[in-house]
Structures are given as C-alpha cells and as structure tokens.
Amino acid sequence: MNEKKTDLIIGIISCILGIISYVLTLNFPTFGKSGVPGPEFFPRILAILFLIISVIQISKSFVEKNTKTQEIEKVDYIRMLILIALFAFYILFLDILGFFITTIIFLMILQKLVSVKFKTSIFVTFIIIMIIFLIFDKLFCVSLPAGIIL
C-alpha cells in the first residue's frame, strides 16, 4: 500500500472517530458553575482538533503527488497488541489504582515500548503527570481518580 492511500485511509478513519467523539459530547452538560465551561468543553475541543487534523490528513493524500511511492513497512503486530492491551489496562485500572499509579505504569511501559531511556522515561513521566494534574485539578477543578488504594 502506498503512502497516499495509507494517508487517505487513516484520515477517513480518524474523521469518523472525531465525528463520533463530537456527537458523544453533545450529551454532556454545557456549563459548569458561574458560566465557566462545563464537562463538555475539553472533550469537545479535542474532538474538533481531531477532526481538523483528519481533514488535513485526507487533503494531504489528494494534494501530494506520487513523489513517495514507497511501500509501508509491515506492521509489528506484537507491539500493536501490547499497545492495545496497555490502553485497556489503563482504562480498566484507572478507577481501581488511581490516576497516579495507573499513569506511571502506563507511561513507563509505553516509553519502554518505543525504546526511551529509563532516566528520560522517569523525567517525562513525572512532567506529564504534573502537567495533567495541574490542568485538571487546579485549572479545571476536576478531581482525578484517587483509586481504592489511596
């Protein structure tokens, strides 16, 4: 499969997922306390950004000429299955273990999967967790799952 066809397929699938995500946010409450954006705000923004990126991906497949007609390398199915299992683990254990423990495990394994050095992985994990915590807990005043252990 050439790169243009792959871009088109990925763009279409991403566009469908973006539309589904946006439609799912229509049932969320619109506003929070005192006119502040409610629970629909962040997911809806992400869905819109996802749609914009997918449209760019689709248009890229039509605009680019056949300068690159290289075959895409075969997919590493084992790595892909590990990634799917990792996301399933994160979703299933987020409420049980809590945000911090689950996210540390998730990010460390994810970075190991893409061959990030251990010290770098620890640093990146710490930074990502702190950014997410500050955004949700301090900015949006949304508590992250604590889990039953804490």
Q: Is the pLDDT reported for residue 70 higher than 60? A: no
Burial tier of 6 (Cβ tally within 10 Å: 0-12, 13-18, 19+): middle
**pLDDT score of 89:** 92
Q: If you average pLDDT over residues 13-29, what whole number do you get?
A: 85
d(CA 139, CA 133) in angstroms, rounded, equals 9
* Phi then psi dihedrals of residue 37, to 5 deg: -55, 140
**pLDDT score of 35:** 64
Is 94 in contact with 145 (CB distance < 8 Å)?
yes
Residue 64 DSSP code: S
Q: Where are the domains of the chain?
A: 3-63, 77-139
Q: Report the range of poorest mean pLDDT among 3-7, 18-22, 34-38, 129-133.
A: 34-38
pLDDT digits (tens, 9 = 90+) for 107-128: 999 999 888 899 999 999 999 9
Retrieve residue 92's tokens: 């299933």
Determine if the pTM surpasses 0.85. Answer: no
pLDDT digits (tens, 9 = 90+) for 83-96: 889 999 998 998 89
Cα dihedral across residues 102, 127, 133, 50: positive or negative: negative
List Cα–Cα distances, 139 to 13, 37, 44, 92, 135, in angstroms: 32, 12, 17, 26, 5
Per the rule left: phi > 0, alpha: psi between -120 and 50, beta: everything else, 141 is left
Q: If you average pLDDT over residues 4-9, what whole number do you get?
A: 80
